Structure 1
Amino acid sequence: MHRDVVISGIGVVSPGGIGVKPFWDLLVSGRTATRTITRFDASPFRSTVAAECDFDAAAEGLDPEDVSRLDRATQFALVAARQALKDSGLAPEELDPCRTGVTIGSAVGCTTSLEREYVAVSHAGRDWLVDPDRAVPHLYDYYVPSSMAAEVAWASGAEGPVQVVSTGCTSGLDSVGHAVRLIEEGVSDVMIAGATDAPISPITLACFDAIRATTPRNDEPTTASRPFDRTRNGFVLGEGCAVFVLEEREHARARDAHVYAAVGGFASRCNAYHMTGLRPDGKEMAAAIAAALDEAGVAPDAVDYVNAHGSGTKQNDRHETAAFKRALGDHARRTPVSSIKSMIGHSLGAIGSLEIAACALAMENGAIPPTANLHDPDPECDLDYVPLVAREAALDTVLTVGSGFGGFQSAMVLTRPGRVGR
């Protein structure tokens, strides 16, 4: 017997607001949370804009010991997981530990703390032979990304499968997709799943500067992220986290849980082509979309909204426009598409989970977030990208996609809780 999976809890740490309501309010308002970087002096870099979270760990309930030892991304994950559990109505003591698991996605792990500690042990890069006595005692936890998932598991009492999924910028989709599979296969009844990244650091800026992937539009930080616009010239780096409580449908029904959406289908493909390049025909993303729709039992013309990867790089926006046309056929021209990266930037591995959250909330609230800053559409990007202003719409089936360095292409289909096509 097939086990359907639903989303019964959401937790969010995002640029523009901590928690589900501030996150959704930002998205439907069309406001942007992109700004000049404040966490360090970014003036030596080509791109000096980002979407930062105004995050106060102590105010969010983390004790001083946690604040001192945990990387910023791990702090995000703990706070979002607590929100999601509270939202779901499940208390940790009510969970069956061995039937509860954790999957956390991350593209760059504990980068912020690793860089800080390297600066310390190398005397700011001066010494080739580093001084281990200058490192914090928990440096190993920064080095091993599994520590992020372990912290969430310890906080929630999960003793089932606990894993980190790291597939670049599709990590946030893939971690949730993996959690769904564990429930479908009967391994778990409840999964705490999502993704977190806090990559706004000098080393990350330097890496993206080197390949010119981020925008140099430093004099216009609030409008620097421009997916599908003719004037776009790179993405805006972001940070954040979204975590979900996923349950087997009958498990949720037995306790009369509120359900945001059902996860109808998930698929991932790789283009085996280029580390950062994309084929212009969008074939691999289209294949992932087709497989996710097929698993959900949903026809292409039933898709009501597409949450695009929409990074704001020229090759990505054209690539996925082609993928939507290939996968959805003529229906692509009638389907609203938008990118929330226009408002909260690109938080690498975390963004896929933030986009799942946006999709679930769009279904819940009957509204499609807009693509901010879209004033001059690229003629090669000729679909309905919901420019500037949110749009009311009844949504039964939503598609969200991701594209990552290494050639990863992932797609997930969310359906209204009462509708599963299988």
Structure 2
Amino acid sequence: MARRVVITGIGVSAPGGVGVDAFWNLMSEGRTATRGITLFDPSPFRSRVAAEVDFDPEAHGLTPQEIRRMDRAAQFGVVTAREAFADSGLDAAALDPYRTGVSLGTAVGAAAGLAAEYRVASDDGRLELVDHRYATPHLYDLFVPGSFATEVAWVVGAEGPATVVSTGCTAGIDAVGHALDVIRDGGADIMVTGAVDAPIAPITMAAFDAIRATTSLNDEADTASRPFDASRKGFVLGEGAAVFVLEELEYARRRDARVYGEIAGYASRGNAFHMTGLRADGAELAEAIRAALDEAHLDASAVDYVNAHGSGTRQNDRHETVALKSALGHHAYRAPVSSIKSMVGHSLGAIGSIEIAACVLAMQHHVVPPTANLHTPDPECDLDFVPLTARAHRTDAVLTIGSGFGGFQSAMVLTRPDRSAA
């Protein structure tokens, strides 16, 4: 019998506020945290809005040396991991370090930090050969995304498995799925897991401008993220992190830990089709959903809420709607579905974990977050997308799904502890 894995600690750094309470207040109130970009001058770009985290690393306990050493994404990871670990009630000094591991997801790693350092070392692009004397001595840490796992492992004293998962926009689900498998397979009793990304930088905006994936609603920044709405113009880039403490259920019970929920099922599929395109029938995402439900031993009718990928592009929204109908059958019309990207934007690899946090809190409070800015639904997106306002709703089993460039399609099923199969 597989070991059961539960969530005992949560940390969130997201647009709208750092910390779980600030995040849930934004979700439950249906407020948006999208705005004009302030992290750099966005005037040269087609898309000039984003969902930024108001983040002062020193105010959140990072030393000047740590701030100098770490990329913004790594800083998110460390601060958020500290919150999650404190929330779990674990004592790092009392843990077996070899039975404690780390699994973090990221889509673009320290891309923003690398780009900034290139500007310095190349004298703003004027030098054909960069001058290494001007580069930070920690440049290698920016180059290797594995450094993110190292930083978090140091925070919690983990000396077990340490991994960084980079599967684009599904990385935040896949990293948690990897941590789930490590515990189930007996490789660790505790995993600190989640995802981080800080992609709001000129290089990223230029990349998405080139394929016209991000929104052009620059004059309506606070409502620019419009998943499933007929007036949408692309996604709004975001940033942030969510980190969880996962434990084997019996380990958690022995220490009388608070259990937020169980990760009951996880699956990932690839479409082997196109780097950015999606098959119109949503077959791969539907198959990932069915596989995750099978692993959770749940019928489609047991799903109380679906946290959608809901990026706010026409291709994704319609693909996802078709996939849900295929996987859930008629129940797809009965289960509430929403996209929190309408409020916190799309933080690439990090968003999958931020959405897991939203799902866990939805189960805790029996409240479904809304799809903000959904006034005129796309006729081809005809499910119950919970427009504008959060909804009180009994939520014992939640499905969260993600879709990423490269054809990655992932699904995870979370359940309340008293709902999970024995």
Structure 1: runs of 5+ lacking an equivalent: none
Normalised to the residue count of structure 2, the TM-score between the two structures is 0.99
- List alignment gaps of at least 5 residues for structure 2: none
Letter matched to residue 381 of structure 1: C
| Cα deviation digits, residues 214-246 of structure 1 (max 9, x gap) | 001000000000000000110000000000000
Q: CA deviation at 1:420?
A: 2.1
Q: Which residue of 2 aligns with 1:309?
A: 309
Could you tell me how far apart the structure 1 residues matched to 2:328 and 2:50 are?
A: 33
1:106-255 equivalences in 2 (<5 Å): 106-255=106-255
* 1:101 Cα offset (Å): 0.2
Q: Alpha-carbon deviations, 1:146-192, whole Å to 9, x = none?
A: 00000100111000000100000000000000000000001100000
- Determine if the alignment matches structure 1 residue 33 to structure 2 residue 28: no
One-letter amino acid of the structure 1 residue matched with residue 292 of structure 2: A
What is aligned with 1:407? 407
- Structure 1: distance between partners of 2:398 and 2:231: 28
What residue is the counterpart of 1:286 in the other structure? 286
Alignment partner of 1:58 is 2:58: yes
Distance 2:321 2:91 in 1: 42
Q: Tell me the residue number matched to 1:339.
A: 339
Q: Please give the alpha-carbon distance, in whole angstroms, between the structure 2 residues aligned to 1:103 and 1:151.
A: 12
Q: Secondary structure at the match of 1:219?
A: helix
What residue number does 2:296 align with?
Answer: 296
Partner of 1:397: 397
Structure 1 residue 22 and structure 2 residue 22: aligned? Answer: yes
For residues 333 and 95 of structure 2, what CA distance do their matches in structure 1 show? Answer: 45
Once residues 267 and 95 of structure 1 are traced to their aligned partners in structure 2, the CA distance between those partners, rounded to angstroms, is 30
State the one-letter code of the partner of 1:6: V
- Match of residue 354 from structure 1: 354
Q: How far apart, CA to CA, are the structure 2 residues paired with 1:10 and 1:155?
A: 15
The residue type paired with residue 346 of structure 2 is H
Question: Which has the higher mean CA deviation after the structures are superposed, 1-10 or 346-355?
Answer: 1-10
In the TM superposition, residue 94 of structure 1 has moved relative to its aligned partner by 2.2
Residues matched between the structures, number? 422
In the other structure, the counterpart of 1:67 is: 67
One-letter amino acid of the structure 2 residue matched with residue 166 of structure 1: S
Q: What CA distance in whole angstroms lies between the structure 2 residues aligned with 1:320 and 1:383? A: 11
* In 1: Cα distance, 2:85 partner to 2:265 partner: 23
| DSSP 3-state at the match of 2:108 | coil
Question: Quick one: which amino acid aligns to residue 254 of structure 1?
Answer: R
- CA-atom RMSD, angstroms? 0.6
Matched, 1:256 2:226: no
C-alpha distance in 1 between matches for 2:43 and 2:95: 48
Q: What does residue 8 of structure 1 align with?
A: 8
Q: Whole-Å Cα distance in 2 between the matches of residues 266 and 2 of structure 1? A: 13
**Partners of 2:375 and 2:125 in 1: how far apart?**
44
Which secondary structure does the structure 1 equivalent of 2:326 belong to? helix
**For residue 153 of structure 2, what is the amino acid of its counterpart?**
A
User: Displacement, 1:356?
Assistant: 0.2
1:77 aligns with 2:77: yes
- Mapped to 2, the partners of 1:197 and 1:259 lie a distance apart of 27
User: 1:16-60 CA deviation, whole Å, 9 max, x = no partner?
Assistant: 010000000001101000000001100000000000000000010
Task: Determine the C-alpha separation between the residues in 1 that align with 2:421 and 2:328.
Answer: 17
Q: Distance in 2 between matches of 1:68 and 1:127?
A: 24
TM-score by length of 1: 0.99
Which residue number corresponds to residue 90 of structure 2? 90
How far off its partner does 1:128 sit?
Answer: 1.2
Distance 1:14 1:149 in 2: 19
- How far did residue 212 of structure 1 move? 0.3
2: distance between equivalents of 1:281 and 1:94? Answer: 51
Bigger mean CA offset, 328-337 vs 122-131: 122-131
Q: Distance in 1 between matches of 2:410 and 2:110?
A: 24
Aligned to 1:324, the other structure's residue is in SS state: helix
What SS does the aligned partner of 2:169 have?
A: coil
Which residue is 1:103 aligned to? 103
Question: Does the residue aligned with 1:43 lie in a helix, a strand or coil?
Answer: coil
* Deviation for aligned residue 1:421: 2.9
For residues 82 and 309 of structure 2, the distance between their equivalents in structure 1, rounded to whole angstroms, comes to 27
Measure the CA separation in 1 of the matches of 2:112 and 2:211. Answer: 20
Aligned equivalent of 2:44: 44
1:258 positional shift: 0.7
Deviation at 1:112, TM superposition (A): 1.5
Runs of 4+ displaced beyond 3 Å: none
Deviations 1:314-351 (A, max 9, x none): 00000000000000000000010000000000000000
Aligned partner of residue 31 in structure 2, secondary structure: coil
CA deviation vs aligned residue, 1:361-380 (integer Å, no higher than 9, x gap): 00001100000000000000
Matches of 2:79 and 2:13, distance apart in 1: 8
- The corresponding residue for 2:419 is 419
2:326 aligned partner? 326
C-alpha distance in structure 1 between counterparts of 2:91 and 2:244, whole Å: 14
Q: Distance in 1 between matches of 2:63 and 2:386?
A: 42
What amino acid is aligned across from residue 77 of structure 2 in structure 1? A
> For residues 93 and 213 of structure 1, what CA distance do their matches in structure 2 show?
47
Secondary structure in structure 2 of the residue aligned to 1:11: strand
Deviation readout 1:234-264 (Å, 9 max, x if unpaired): 0000000000000000011111111111000
**Aligned AA (1:186):** G
Equivalent AA in structure 1 for residue 411 of structure 2:
A
Identity across matched positions, percent: 67
Q: Deviations over 1:353-397 (max 9, x none)?
A: 000000000000110000000000000000000000000011111
